[in-house]
Amino acid sequence: MRWYVRRAPDQMDTPVITTTDLRKVYRSRDREVTALDGVDLAVREGEVYGVVGRSGAGKSTLIRCVNLLERPTSGTVEVAGRDLTALAGRSDRAPAALRAARAGIGMVFQHFNLLSSRTVQDNVELPLEIQGVTRRERAARSRELLDLVGLGDKARAYPAQLSGGQKQRVGIARALAGRPQVLLSDEATSALDPETTRSVLELLRDLNRQLGLTVLLITHEMDVVKAVCDSAALMKGGRVVESGTVAELLATPGSELAGELFPLGGAASGPDRTVVDLTFHGESATRPVISQLARTYNVDVSILGAAMETYDGRQIGRMRIELPGRFEDNVVPIGFLREQGLQVDIAPSAEPAAPAVPAVAK
Ligand SMILES: Nc1ncnc2c1ncn2[C@@H]1O[C@H](COP(=O)(O)OP(=O)(O)OP(=O)(O)O)[C@@H](O)[C@H]1O
Ligand SMILES: [Mg+2]
């Protein structure tokens, strides 16, 4: 497609979606729900950004506030340098300037929201009709978009004749019709089976890479974040409690998101063992610290679990290791690990002490 420019690395730092102290309070006669409680979010150009959190955390409210489908109670939303909250004005009807800005934001829905009485092609053309694009141009664009999402042969089919994954591809093609710079997706894959989910995620990733499309997606599945996201945020009770690139999260000691994305697991294999969580970041990630530890102190180090990723030639990640002996016996080796620049956290010993189980069944 011609209208996108492939992302250049130096564009990655430009925020394309920014929310500042975003609040949304739903008020009814007898109660008040604070769905967003001061959300600051910065999604950079060309990245896939995942928002995760439990049901009711405020994820859908956030995404609906980003395109002003929902009007924030306070705070600002900027998309591609435009302050949408300022464009929204005070009346309930969206002014023309806001409608124009929204054309640059595509949205994909969990339940596809296709019109059953229209063909696939006519569904994709719908936003272009609303924009007043000529029939000829619409037809050319929708054909191009359907080819892009792998449905070139389904233009004349009706939604009822498609599988769930195909319907979502139509939803994605329709979302791209207005040549958006950003694509918002609220649980786009949660109605799909795992294999179809994978193919739709691959499509989103391809669109992101090929077209430089910025994607903000909401999901409750960590696997989705793992498969496609460059960055992620965790929401709880209307707030963003953690956020960053996957590498930054991995390098953050105690990060709940990193823990859920890359569970280390691994409990002590018996009593009189010390379990230590290490976070590798910066310089420490380039040295063979574990083998040095084993050699220098002549200890048998067991690796219980590890999640390491390579970014810019550096290894970043977390590792859970086990040392023989109690904590008091390991003060010196632990001191060595700290000296190497690693973040070292001692995992709490399993309580209450379980009866000793042999590590290897005989
Ligand atoms: N239109 C509304 N009126 C009143 N309260 C609402 C409205 N929409 C959402 N809420 C409330 O705001 C809170 C956040 O809802 P939201 O839909 O954003 O959560 P979510 O993180 O998307 O959850 P889920 O994972 O279940 O989709 C919830 O307490 C919800 O009940
Ligand atoms: Mg939701």
Ligand nearest to the CA of 32: 1
Among the listed residues 263, 307, 260, 301, the one whose alpha carbon sits nearest the alpha carbon of residue 285: 307
Confidence of residue 318 (pLDDT cuts 50, 70, 90): confident
Distance CA 295, CA 274 (A): 18
- Ligand 1, atom 8, residue with closest C-alpha: 61
Torsion 12-14-17-18 (CA) sign: positive
What pLDDT score does 159 carry?
A: 97
Q: Amino acid identity, residue 258?
A: A
What pLDDT score does 282 carry?
A: 67
Ligand 1 and 237: CB distance under 6 A:
no
Do 231 and 49 meet the contact criterion of CB atoms below 8 Å apart?
yes
**Planar angle of CA 17, 21, 27, nearest 5 degrees:** 110
Ligand 1 and 219: CB distance under 6 A:
no
Ligand nearest to the CA of 64: 1
- Ligand 1, atom 3, residue with closest C-alpha: 26
Burial class (CB in 10 A: 0-12, 13-18, 19+), 359: exposed
Cα of 1 vs centre of ligand 2, distance in Å, is 32
DSSP for 44-101, written as a single string: ETT-EEEEEE-TTSSHHHHHHHHTTSS--SEEEEEETTEEHHHHH-SSSSPPHHHHHH
Q: Residue 112's Cα: distance from chain center in Å?
A: 20
User: Which sequence spans correspond to the domains of the chain?
Assistant: 2-104+180-257, 265-346
In sequence order, what are the beta bridge partners of 95? none
What pLDDT score does 248 carry?
A: 87
Element (H, E) at 6: none
- Ligand 1, atom 28, residue with closest C-alpha: 56
Distance CA 342, CA 280 (A): 6
Q: Judge: domain 265-346, CATH 3.40.50.720.
A: no
Distance CA 244, CA 225 (A): 12
DSSP for 102-158, written as a single string: HTTEEEE-TT----TTS-HHHHHHHHHHHTT--HHHHHHHHHHHHHHTT-GGGTT--
Distance CA 123, CA 112 (A): 11
What pLDDT score does 92 carry?
A: 65
Ligand 1 and 27: CB distance under 6 A:
no
Q: Which two tokens stand for residue 62?
A: 């956030």
The domain 2-104+180-257: what is its CATH number?
A: 3.40.50.300
Which numbered atom of ligand 1 lies nearest the CA of 26?
4
Give the mean pLDDT of 32-50. Answer: 97
Ligand 1 and 26: CB distance under 6 A:
yes
Cα of 134 vs centre of ligand 1, distance in Å, is 39
3-state helix, strand, coil split of the chain in percent (to 5) is 35, 30, 35
pLDDT tens by residue, 253-311: 888 998 888 888 778 888 889 999 998 876 666 678 888 999 999 999 999 988 877 76
